[in-house]
């Protein structure tokens, strides 16, 4: 695997099924790209890229008010953000490119990890503890497919990897730092609409196996509750189906095929709700789940 030289411009790298080119970006954004994406496979000049993006730094008439603007194929689809938020804006923009422009896969807002060839899909709205739980599992032996998207192959029903840097917010950053001191965070960005935002590097195994799909194994809908012992409960399959629909970006694009794809995903998975208040205890319970412990449910 070739790393991106610190002086390379534009930055061209591959994340799972997608080739990305970041053309124009301020120096601080380029440093974050080099730190967080430096170990990803390179895309050679002249090779096709799925997304050609960038971040422009511009100033309002008052020169002390810089802004960051996300650019894709020369267009600016979003309102600008404060100048120091260029890298989070780039990541949010890439998310939009995947869920808004790519419909070769059924795309669900969910974390996805794999162990023993089977994938766990963790769909959840913001604030549910999804990314914190995802971080805990990947530092306890689960392979990361994605912190953001379950990409479902229409033909096989398998989960397709897209292992980009994992995003954490506010208190979750220190929780994960204490839980996994080896996590390599980039610069923290403060005062965003989501509070403090930080990204950490994906483990090498996830990059080396970024073309290796996984079969569905579990669907787990989490909820973080301070002080709550980890509790896993069986979930009705019809309710699990609806949770996936609620978190699917392009379900309507697929029509009847989307209904059948989600139905097959649910049928191939064990479905649970999960409530937890401690990350260490949560990962221990999921270790038991992956081993098929019959007493794992509360």
Residues with pLDDT less than 50, the chain: 1-8
Q: What is the pLDDT of residues 192-237, one digit of tens each?
A: 999 999 999 999 999 999 999 999 999 999 999 988 999 999 999 9
Place of tokens 């483990």: 203
Burial 169-194 (b: 16+ CB within 10 A, else e): beebbebbbebbeebebbeebeebee
* Burial of residue 285 (number of CB atoms within 10 Å: 0-12, 13-18, 19+): buried
Distance from C-alpha of 88 to C-alpha of 70, rounded to nearest angstrom: 10
Write down the pLDDT at residue 1: 44
Residue 97, phi then psi, degrees to nearest 5: -60, -40
Write down the pLDDT at residue 63: 60
Place of tokens 């913001």: 126
Q: What is the pLDDT of residues 118-127, one digit of tens each?
A: 999 999 876 6
**CA-closest candidate to residue 198, choices 178, 163, 216, 174:** 174
């Amino acid at each position: 695997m070739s790393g991106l030289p610190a002086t390379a411009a534009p930055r061209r790298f591959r994340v799972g099924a997608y080739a990305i080119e970041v053309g124009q970006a301020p120096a601080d954004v380029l440093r974050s790209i080099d730190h967080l994406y430096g170990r990803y496979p390179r895309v050679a000049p002249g090779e096709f890229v799925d997304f050609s993006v960038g971040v422009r730094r511009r100033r309002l008439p008052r020169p002390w008010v810089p802004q960051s603007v996300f650019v894709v194929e020369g267009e600016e689809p979003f309102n600008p953000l404060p100048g120091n938020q260029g890298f989070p804006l780039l990541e949010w923009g890439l998310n939009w490119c995947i869920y808004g422009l790519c419909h070769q896969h059924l795309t669900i807002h969910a974390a996805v990890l794999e162990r023993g060839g089977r994938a766990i899909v963790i769909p959840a709205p913001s604030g549910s503890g999804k990314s914190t739980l995802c971080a805990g599992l990947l530092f306890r032996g689960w392979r990361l497919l994605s912190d953001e998207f379950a990409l479902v192959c229409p033909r096989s029903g398998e989960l397709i990897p897209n292992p980009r840097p994992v995003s954490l917010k506010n208190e979750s950053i220190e929780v994960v730092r204490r839980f996994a001191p080896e996590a390599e965070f980039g610069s923290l960005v403060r005062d965003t609409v989501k509070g403090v935002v930080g990204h950490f590097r994906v483990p090498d195994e996830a990059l080396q196996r970024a073309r290796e799909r996984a079969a569905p194994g579990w669907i787990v809908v989490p909820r973080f509750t301070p002080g709550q012992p980890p509790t896993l409960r069986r979930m009705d399959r019809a309710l699990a189906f609806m949770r996936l629909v609620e978190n699917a970006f392009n379900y309507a694009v697929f029509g009847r095929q989307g209904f059948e794809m989600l139905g097959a995903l649910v049928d191939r998975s064990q479905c649970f709700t999960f409530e937890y208040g401690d990350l260490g205890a949560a990962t221990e319970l999921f270790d038991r789940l992956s081993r098929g412990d019959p007493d794992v449910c509360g």
